[in-house]
Amino acid sequence: MTSDIGALIVITTVPDEHLAVKISESLLQQRLAACVHALPAGWSRYRWQGNIESSAEITLLIKTTGTHYPEVEADIVRLHPYDVPEIMAVRVEDGLPVYLSWIVNETA
């Protein structure tokens, strides 16, 4: 996606807390993320293969950098049970400079 060193927030959803912990541990151990924040479980309604579906999901907000995005994406895909997992990256346009530097330092 991007090779920019700037901060990214990668968003993904997972079906349960076990997988949320597994993905976050993997990303943190490899220094691909500085922080993974899990939002409380909610639900998603979506169209899938011509049907309207509903699932309980936990949303993960992964703080990383553009240089690590390909590896973050690959790790999520490797660990995720969905055929097409939600993986979206949002470029951080502005933020507390010391926090943004922390993201870069923790993923170096």
For the chain, the domains span 7-106
**Measured distance CA(72)–CA(23) in Å, rounded:** 10
Assess whether pLDDT exceeds 60 at residue 77. Answer: yes
Q: pLDDT grade, residue 3 (50/70/90)?
A: very low
pTM, entire model: 0.92
Position 47, amino acid: R
Reference 7, options 92, 73, 105, 84; nearest CA is: 92
CATH code for residues 7-106: 3.30.70.120
**Measured distance CA(65)–CA(5) in Å, rounded:** 5
30-39 confidence digits (pLDDT tens): 999 999 999 9
E strand or H helix at 43, and its extent?
strand 42-48
